[in-house]
A = this chain, B = another copy of it.
């Protein structure tokens, strides 16, 4: 393919994307395919000879699109948003066109420096304390990780390394493997599954502590766990607080957990994957009160901030901790500089290679402007409130807990069977997509406002589908015709599978 063909193919692809967004409401949000549908229709072998780009685009339309779950449809209310925007797509075109790998400053200076700058911009927009920012005088700074999963694991590995160093400095005779086996991590039972997985991957016991009735991890609970473990000879090492839990978007009180973790020398990481974006609006910053006690903070612009996956923004108070943990000191790998002002980002992350991901963050921040992004957040929250209002006008429904951010949880009155049936039926009909969670022991349905193009009419469309289905479910119930839904099936789509 030469440059001229690329110009044609590329522009056709741009039009396909624009048309896709323009017409997304015409598609069912869930695809009507069975496992293996695509495996069955595609050839068994790669083509030997080059194919025409028009044929590729034709197959994209005819074979790929029918198998897509439309995360950016205004009828997609499952999990949390998967960020995507025109500005982000174009940022990626530019980054892919350059095709640089930014593992060190000199591997492409602009790649590293644009990341430093955009994470300073973003940290300021969120109102993070200055010590997290590269532009402060200290060793803090930000980095783009691939996912909140990876950020949680990075935090855990750094906490492990730091704790072992702290203990062996005092007791040089202690065996590192013995210390390692005693380290414990903590989070709440409302954490995303990726937090639990970080414990598994990092070989650290991860305790999922009981949250309070509002889904928040409280100080007394965490303190009790620390003390219990210390009494057993274990070593509290790492805690993950959730700002915006996956199930109900609850916020752990950092002002309680932070001072406690500081007192016990426990690294406190914040997973604000979805809700972190809201902090660009000053009116929501009270939800991160106590942030100054935290060691690392991560949220996903690739969720609610219109940046395409992968772009998980992580800040740490002390970049030296990452260097200590991740720098592979081999003779031929000596750094000219190990300062954190213009970092060699390969020491701040798990892989060596990295894409120019700051480009799409930059294009999004510029094309939207801070005010544009704040409007986007406020619009989603308003739309969620609007949905809650509609649901509350119907006395067959209970909205609980209180809507939080762009998420509204609800159920039908009565036992859980009706609510489960409602969700199962709606999923089967494929017009709207939601997933379940639990709240105070009750089965609830999560309605998340996800698409950046969602309008009031879309909320009404979804609400009407829910209401109509409720008519059927409740009428069957009254007539004794309701079947017990296949719970196993429902369980597979519940909240912990959200994108990270």
Contact = CB atoms under 8 A, between A and B. Distances in A.
Per assembly, the copies of the chain total 2
B13 A93 contact: yes
Contact of A71 (B5, B88, B108): B108
Contact of A94 (B7, B21, B60, B67): B60
A495 interface: yes
Contacts of A31: 108-110
A136 to B, nearest CB: 12
B51 A334 contact: no
A53 B135 CA distance: 27
A368 B7 contact: no
A53 B87 CA distance: 9
A157 B113 CA distance: 33
A188 interface: no
Q: For this complex, into which size category does the number of interface residues on chain A fall?
A: 35 or more
Contacts of A99: 71-72, 82-84, 308-309
A233 to B, nearest CB: 13
A1 interface: yes
Given A4-B18, A153-B350, 4 more contacts: A47-B369, A68-B108, A147-B352, A177-B181
Interface string A135-164: 100000000001111100100010010000
Contacts of A353: 147-149, 302, 309-310, 499-500
Contacts of A14: 6-7, 10-11, 14, 93
Given A108-B69, A342-B36, A46 B370 contact: yes
A90 interface: yes
A100 B71 contact: yes
Contacts of A493: 106
Nearest to A427: B106
